[in-house]
Amino acid sequence: MLATDGSVPERRLSEVIAEHLRRTARINPSDAERRSWDRSLPVLARDLVDAGLGAVEMLVEYQLPLTSKRADVVLAGVDRRTGGDAYVVVELKQWSQAELFEGDPKLVLVGGVSGDPRLHPVLQVENYCEYIADFVAALEGRSDVLRGVAYLHNAADLDVEDLYGEVLGEQGRMFTKSRRGAFLDYLRERFAPESGAGAADRLLTSAVRPSKQLLKLAAAEIRDREQFVLLDEQRLAYEIVLNSVARARGADSKEVVIVSGGPGSGKSVIALSLLGELSRQGRDVMHATGSRSFTETLRRVPGKGSSKVKNLFKYFNSFTKAERNGLDVLICDEAHRIRETSQNRYTPAHLRSDRRQVDELIDAARVPVFLLDEHQVVRPGEMGTVAEIRSHAEARGFRVHEVSLDEQYRCGGSRAYEEWVLRLLGLRAGGPVPWLGDDHFSVSAAGSPQELEALLRSKLDKDYSARMTAGFCWPWSDPRKDDTLVHDVRIGDWSRPWNVKGDRAVGDAPASALWATQDGGFEQVGCVYTAQGFEYDWNGVIIGPDLVYRDGRLVTVRAASKDPALTRGTSDEQADRLIRNTYKVLLTRGMAGTHVWSVDARTQEFIEQLMRA
């Protein structure tokens, strides 16, 4: 327990917690967090002692499984009534005054802190409880052992009376300093005075996996929202995964499945079909990508209407501490985005690890499934290739299955266009060739950015989806203070802004992750980081000065790129490949057709010659 008399252990509490988080979670706490610990944790500790519950364990800054979110405290002890485990998630608030925001029962305005609304603390702690119950295997089917409390220990009832309208449920309660006596009674009713060390250990060491209830809900959500038909190699890949799952579980072994294919070959359809079917079977399955835009869209589409289903969609770096074989299946979509490690430049030197991200993902499930397109590696540090994944798996003695979807392509089913793009960019041998046409897919050279935009807008007016993208050859500004975007992409007297940088909409422009799918995205130029993983009917591409036609072929000009990813320790050879892969991604987003224009006159002339054939 914490000392409660102002002695050295209490005064040094924030230092101890901060050091623990730096060492175990690679987090450097802010000064505000440290002050919060020093002011709130001793209050809760004294309450436990005064309630005669000094043996109840306090799990401080409990990290929610597979997320970076942390609950302030989880109290772990013995249930006074049953003798079993009992847990209370405590959200500690230092607020002295708060009221509902514009009468909304779910939003709170905190006096003296900020003019921005906050989530009601009871809803916050209820969400924590639901999430923990969904992913901690030791709690599956035992949601009654977990409760939540918002404790506003600096506030009197009259200062927060607005907030009591939302606190009637058992899952979440709210107490203030005026109700300290009621809080102590609540704790006594919940916990026996015996030690809670066993309950704490069981919570901390439990396997982490989605609950059967969550998987059942996910199966229904995906089935109701999408009806997928899998063809040929798509169905083959699907059946191989299901077969591997049954065999690996029965034999207590591991098998790795690699599915490769070009854009539109059905990789994500396979992924969602597997997620739905394995959920229906009650398997422990999750979906992960390395793309923020793609993951956020999946959370909003298959996961629409259910916050629980959204939690099945994670990022590759969510599995750094995952239990070995804790899942039956981990579906790694867009696996070409796998990085060398899960560390980034903000990770402190003493906490860096040389463990490969691909090994973390392989370890997380009995059957890890990797779906990828090798020509979509567009950032330094990405290493998702068939050879790399196979090498890591076979070096550890795991059986590997590989399926190629090369017969199926997004671009109107046009394998000819895919081949034409690869040869144009020098990603396939043989050099550029004339575009000879395809009845199922339209390709043309626009005469100017104005004409390119007009062509796409005409499709948009006919209720087709359309987007315009460009190579990363112009600066990317933050929004202005008046909530408007800067027209960074300037070509002569034509200009447009890049898509929004951040997580919120700016005016009519959608947030970055939703540029490709939400209304309003057409008015901005997209970059590879927001276009990758998506498709739309009509595709417009501006080829910037980083890719130009010289001496019979397209060559890259690294100095013309404004992409910060190419400025940090990237060799010229790597930069050349990344720029070519970037345009491969941009040129293959369209389902019905693509219009192209280049800022470089010689390049534009070359493309027009190829089209005239």
Query: How many residues make up the chain in this entry?
Result: 613
CA distances, 152 to each of 14, 39, 141, 219, 401 (Å): 20, 12, 30, 39, 55
| Mutual angle of helices 233-251 and 267-280, in 10-degree steps | 40
- The CATH architecture to which 212-404 belongs is 3-Layer(aba) Sandwich (3.40)
Among residues 318, 384, 406, the alpha carbon closest in space to that of 67 is found at 318
Tell me how many degrees the CA angle 211-214-220 measures, rounded to the nearest 5: 145
d(CA 378, CA 546): 14
Decide if 101 contacts 108 (C-beta within 8 A).
yes
pLDDT at 518: 86
Cβ-based neighbour number of residue 232 at 10 Å = 11
Average pLDDT by stretches of 10, the chain with 613 residues: 42 78 67 87 95 95 77 95 95 92 78 68 86 86 89 93 70 91 96 92 85 62 55 76 84 89 77 86 90 69 63 87 91 90 65 81 96 81 88 93 67 70 92 84 93 95 90 94 94 96 87 86 93 86 97 93 82 91 92 92 96 80
Q: Looking at domain 411-612, which of 1.10.10, 3.20.20, 3.40.50, 1.10.150 is its CATH number?
A: 3.40.50
d(CA 277, CA 270): 10
The amino acid occupying position 589 is R
Same fold, 212-404 and 411-612: yes
d(CA 538, CA 460): 9
Decide if 469 contacts 542 (C-beta within 8 A).
yes
The amino acid occupying position 303 is G
The amino acid occupying position 433 is V
The amino acid occupying position 575 is A
pLDDT at 185: 96
Decide if 161 contacts 169 (C-beta within 8 A).
no
- What sign has the CA pseudo-torsion 590, 595, 600, 606? positive
Question: What residue segments make up the domains of the chain, in order of their start?
Answer: 8-205, 212-404, 411-612
DSSP H or E stretch at residue 298: helix 292-300
- The 3-class SS string of 106-141 reads EEEEECCCCCCCEECHHHHHHHHHHHHHHHEHHHCC
pLDDT at 2: 42
Threshold 0.85, pTM exceeds: no
Residue 52 DSSP symbol: T
